Amino acid sequence: MRLKVCFIFSPAQHSSCTAFFRMEPTLRSLTLLLLLAISNAAIQAPSNCPWDDPELEKWSDHTTWPTGQIPQEDTEVFIPKGKKVVLDTQIPRLLHVTINGTLVWGNVDGIRMETSFLLVNGEFHIGSEECNFEKTADIFLYGKSNSVEVVPVFGRKFIGAASGSTLEIHGKQKKSWTKLVATLSPVRPGRCGLIYDSSVS
Ligand SMILES: *[C@@H]1O[C@H](CO)[C@@H](O)[C@H](O)[C@H]1NC(C)=O
- Alpha carbons 132 and 102: distance in angstroms, whole number: 18
Report, in this order, helix, strand and coil percent for the chain, each rounded to 5.
10, 30, 60
Q: What residues line ligand 1, using a CB cutoff of 6 Å?
A: 100, 121, 162
67 phi and psi, to 5 degrees? -80, -10
Report pTM. Answer: 0.67
pLDDT of residue 35 exceeding 90: no
163 phi and psi, to 5 degrees? -60, 135
Instruction: Quote the ligand 1 centre to 1 CA distance (angstroms).
Output: 49
Residues contacting residue 129 through CB under 8 Å, at least 6 positions apart: 168, 170
Residues 69-89, mean pLDDT to the nearest whole number: 97
pLDDT for the residue 47 = 59
| Higher pLDDT pick, 16 / 110 | 110
Instruction: Quote the ligand 1 centre to 84 CA distance (angstroms).
Output: 15
pLDDT tens digit sequence for 153-187? 998 899 999 999 999 999 988 777 777 777 777 76
Residue nearest to atom 14 of ligand 1 (CA): 80
Would you place residue 85 in the very low, low, confident or very high pLDDT band (cuts 50, 70, 90)? very high
pLDDT tens digit sequence for 56-72? 999 999 999 999 999 99
Report which of 139, 157, 137 is spatially closest to residue 147, judged by C-alpha positions. 157
Q: Domain ranges in the chain?
A: 11-43, 50-169
Instruction: Quote the ligand 1 centre to 100 CA distance (angstroms).
Output: 6
Q: Ligand 1, closest atom to CA 162?
A: 4
For residue 193, give the 3-state DSSP assignment: coil
pLDDT for the residue 1 = 28
Number of Cβ within 10 Å of residue 57's Cβ equals 16
